[in-house]
Structure 1
Amino acid sequence: MELKEKTILITGGASGIGLEAARQFLEIGTKVIITGRNQDKLNAAKKMYPKLIAIKSDVSKAEDALSLFNQVSELGGIDILYNNAGVGVKPFNLGNPNNKHLEGAIYEMEVNYFGVIQLNNLFMEMLKSRNEAAIINTTSILSIVPSFIEATYSSSKVALAFYTKSLRRHLEIINSQVKIFELLPPLVDTNLVADREDKKMSPEELVKQLINGMQKDQYTIRVGVTRLVYQINRFFPKLAFKLINPTKDNKIIQKQ
């Protein structure tokens, strides 16, 4: 896929992976629109990269999503929708009824799953009208093997992974040229997991591999250790589960 001179909308683009993606897409000649919920972060991103277009929006809210669509349409539309925004709640003991894991699961699904479908539906006809267009959905290594300390987050990413594969096939059946990319990151070094001591990939390397995969029309982009876990899980699922869920994680559950 040719990325130069395209226009991309990056959700959750004011910090972390989204902001790094904005930087790298700008460098290769892509016009970048970012959105996020925090105006201060959007202002800081705009100050850092003046060529950015920043729009405040909560993609999980229907009224915000529609307003975002209308503003993007007025700017001339987009060629690429990068569904990067995502949330994860703290680990819960699912066996403890006093923990509010239901509320956390609903929040994760609203942002990580329903929010993606909402934006895809809004922008689909716009994307289908372009000569070359794409949607990027960010799932996770945990859509391959679940983390039992992030059970509801893992579930939201599995839902998104199945939807992504189905959406790609539906568009093929109706002869649409919209390309559907699935990005499967490992643990990435962002504020969301700042307290984790596990090995993390840098946002810079993740986005570099995303762009490389898109340029090669590699529709499923497994990055870093995700590739290894995917292969191990095919033949040795119990081993893959142990790799994702080390014994030390038991202590997190026992403390709850």
Structure 2
Amino acid sequence: MELKNKTILITGGSAGIGLEAAKQFLTLDMQVIITGRDQNKLNQAKTRFPKIIALKSDVSKEEDAKALFIEIEKLGGIDILYNNAGVGVMPLNLGKANDKHAEGAAYEMNINYIGVIRLNNLFLPMLQARKESAIINTTSVLSYVPSILEATYSATKTALAFYTKSLRAHLRIAKSPVKVFELLPPAVETELIAHRKIKKMSPEKLIQGLIKGLKKDQYTIKMGYTNTFYFLNRLFPSLAFALVNPKSAEQFLK
């Protein structure tokens, strides 16, 4: 896929992986639009990278998504929609009565899954009108092997992974010009898991891999140890589960 001179919209682009993506896409002579819920973070991102367009928007809110679409139309539209926004709740023991289980799951599902579908539905006609366009959905290694510390988060990423594969097939059957990419990161150095003492990939390396995959039309981009866990889970699922969920993780659930 040719990236130069294309316009990309990055949700959750004011920090972490999204901001790193904005930085690297700018170096490819692309127009970069980012969104986020925190105006202060958006302002800081704009200060660091004056060429980006920063728009406040919450993917979990239908009215925000519609307003964002209208604003993007005024700017001339986009060629790539990068669904990067994602959230996770703190570990909860699912074996104990807790009214926050459903609350946390709904929060994660609305942003990590439904929010993606909401934006894709809005922007697909715009992307269909382009000669070459793309949707990028960020799933996770946890869509292969669930984490006991992020049970409902893992479920949202599994749902998104299945949806992404189905969407790709639907658009192929319709002979659509929209390419659908799935980015599968391992654990990445972000605020979401800053407290976890595990091996993590840097956002810089993750986005470098994403860009390489986009250029090669590699529709499923497995980064770091994600590819290893894919095959390990197929051959030795119990071992894969044990590696993702070491005994040390159980202390967080007691």
Question: Which range, TM-score by smaller chain?
Answer: over 0.9
What does the per-residue CA deviation read over 1:161-180, in whole Å, with 9 as the maximum and x for residues that have no partner? Answer: 00000000000111111000
Distance 2:154 2:235 in 1: 21
Gaps of 5+ in 2: none
> Deviation of residue 98 (structure 1)?
2.5
Please name the residue that 1:90 is paired with: 90
Please name the residue that 1:113 is paired with: 113
Q: Secondary structure at the match of 1:168?
A: helix
Aligned length: 254
Please name the residue that 2:24 is paired with: 24
Q: Tell me which moved more, 207-216 or 99-108.
A: 99-108
Please name the residue that 2:8 is paired with: 8
Please name the residue that 2:48 is paired with: 48
Please name the residue that 2:198 is paired with: 198
> Deviation of residue 99 (structure 1)?
5.1
Q: 4+ residue runs of structure 1 moved beyond 4 angstroms?
A: none
- Asked if the contact 1:6–1:30 (Cα under 8 Å) also holds between the matched residues in 2, the reply is yes
- 1:40 maps to a residue whose letter is N
Distance 1:50 1:230 in 2: 39
Distance 2:158 2:27 in 1: 32
TM-score, normalising length: structure 1? 0.98
* Aligned residues with identical type, % of pairs: 65
What does the per-residue CA deviation read over 1:37-74, in whole Å, with 9 as the maximum and x for residues that have no partner? Answer: 00000000000000000000001100000000000000
Please name the residue that 2:129 is paired with: 129
TM-score, normalising length: structure 2? 0.99
Please name the residue that 1:185 is paired with: 185
Distance 2:75 2:143 in 1: 35
What does the per-residue CA deviation read over 1:10-44, in whole Å, with 9 as the maximum and x for residues that have no partner? Answer: 00000000000000000011110000000000000
Gaps of 5+ in 1: none
- 1:101 maps to a residue whose letter is H
> Deviation of residue 152 (structure 1)?
0.2
CA RMSD of aligned residues (A): 0.6
What does the per-residue CA deviation read over 1:218-242, in whole Å, with 9 as the maximum and x for residues that have no partner? Answer: 0000000111111111111111111
Distance 1:191 1:105 in 2: 19
Please name the residue that 1:66 is paired with: 66
